[in-house]
Amino acid sequence: MKVIDLRSDTVTKPTEKMRMAMFSAEVGDDVLGDDPTVKRLENLAAEMFGKEAALFFPSGSMANATAVKVHTNEGDEVIVEEKSHIYLMEMGHLAFISRVIPRPVKSDRGNLDIDEVKKAIRFSRAYTPKTSLICVENTHNYWGGAVVSLENLKEIWKIAEEYGLKVHMDGARIFNASVYSGIPVKEYAKYAHSVMFSLSKGLSAPIGSMLVGDEEFIEKARRIRKLLGGGMRQVGVIAAAGIVALTEMVERLKEDHLKARIFAEGLGLNPELFPTNIVILEVENAQDFVNKLKERGVLALAISPREVRFVFHKDVNFEEVEIAKVICKEILR
């Protein structure tokens, strides 16, 4: 039985072209600044996002943790969306590494409630921590791959400017947002001081995430990355796959969105709620549902007691989407 793996887009295998690029990558010691392939990837990322500089990371979590550490001082408060990955799914690095206090606020499917943000901002007094950073997530994982609107990002930016705060965007799937909306990533990036994005999700590179921002921010980030153990040596071997991801794998994300739409419609869900490559199904008992799926060769993740998440990607074809849909419907009956 061939397994249909819908646990995540992180399961995607590198393409033939990526493997060839990795095989022949020119490399050097990147901690000493000698790896030409890493430099090429970083320059490409900075250029695509309209930022001064970029830095290659082994994971999105490390890049997010680094961004928070650079933007904050110990004891500060950080405004986060209440279901955001950075807050809920990254081992609590806000507290553990940056020693800051997360201040969760509500959103409309990832679009932060502007009044709530304003109310949450605090100023340094003798007895209160001060807010220094707002984090946004686009697309929003646990809101079913929802795309945060440019208007919302602009409003957040305006508040940040008004109160002297920084904005960090967890754009692990920012290219999904971009191909859905037609808005270039450069445009989204205008409204954040730093953006993290993943090469290892829908773009199918085996490893890696990027952090982009201004020169000063990236220089500080380089030091924190080293502190966290993320200084890598002849890492051009994986950066080479990242270059293929950015130059050849972006447009095809549309296909993944179509797969998600077909699946959502087939299950009678409102496809507008799942605009990109993630579908979340509410069931009585998510773990039980996932176990039944697994017995029939479909893998998905229970992300809460009553929610099952399906993620569509390059390594599931349309026929497999149909099969997964039929199996889900049978279990739901």
| Interface with ligand TLP in residues 18-37 (CB under 6 A) | none
Among 131, 209, 276, 277, binds ligand TLP (CB under 6 A): 209
The full 3-state SS of the chain, as one line of letters, equals: CCCEECCCHHHCCCCHHHHHHHHCCCCCCCCCCCCHHHHHHHHHHHHHHCCCEEEEECCHHHHHHHHHHHHCCCCCEEEEECCCHHHHCCCCHHHHCCCCEEEEECEECCEECHHHHHHHCCCCECCECCEEEEEEECCEHHHCCECCCHHHHHHHHHHHHHHCCEEEEECCCHHHHHHHHCCCHHHHHCCCCEEEEECCCCCCCCCCEEEEECHHHHHHHHHHHHHCCCCCCCCHHHHHHHHHHHHHCCCCHHHHHHHHHHHHHHCCCCHHHCCCCEEEEECCCHHHHHHHHHHCCEECEEEECCEEEEECCCCCCHHHHHHHHHHHHHHHC
Closest contact distance (angstroms) between CB of 87 and ligand TLP is 10
Among 10, 15, 149, 234, binds ligand TLP (CB under 6 A): 10
Pick the closer one to ligand TLP by CB: 89 or 227.
Answer: 89
Closest contact distance (angstroms) between CB of 127 and ligand TLP is 33
Closest contact distance (angstroms) between CB of 12 and ligand TLP is 11
Among 51, 71, 85, 166, binds ligand TLP (CB under 6 A): 85
Residues binding ligand TLP: number (CB under 6 A): 15
Q: Is residue 93 at the binding interface for ligand TLP, with CB under 6 A as the rule?
A: no
Q: List the x/- string, 127-166, binding to ligand TLP by CB under 6 A.
A: ----------x---x-------------------------
Residue nearest to ligand TLP (CB): 60
Q: Please report how the helices 174-181 and 253-266 are oriented relative to each other, as an axis angle in degrees rounded to 10.
A: 80
Among 37, 72, 132, 198, binds ligand TLP (CB under 6 A): 198
Of 60-68, 216-224, 254-262, 290-298, the window that binds ligand TLP (rule: CB under 6 A) is 60-68
Pick the closer one to ligand TLP by CB: 143 or 289.
Answer: 143
Pick the closer one to ligand TLP by CB: 121 or 235.
Answer: 235
Pick the closer one to ligand TLP by CB: 35 or 137.
Answer: 137
- Gap between the Cα atoms of 88 and 275, Å rounded: 22
- Gap between the Cα atoms of 150 and 187, Å rounded: 8
Closest contact distance (angstroms) between CB of 322 and ligand TLP is 23
Q: Is residue 88 at the binding interface for ligand TLP, with CB under 6 A as the rule?
A: no
Checking DSSP bridges between strand 101-105 and strand 77-81, what pairing results, if any? parallel
Among 18, 38, 48, 61, binds ligand TLP (CB under 6 A): 61
Q: Is residue 110 at the binding interface for ligand TLP, with CB under 6 A as the rule?
A: no
Q: Is residue 89 at the binding interface for ligand TLP, with CB under 6 A as the rule?
A: yes
Closest contact distance (angstroms) between CB of 171 and ligand TLP is 8
Cis preceding-peptide flag for 139 (omega within 30 of 0): yes
Contact positions vs ligand TLP (CB under 6 A)? 8, 10, 59-61, 64, 85, 89, 137, 141, 170, 172, 198, 200, 209
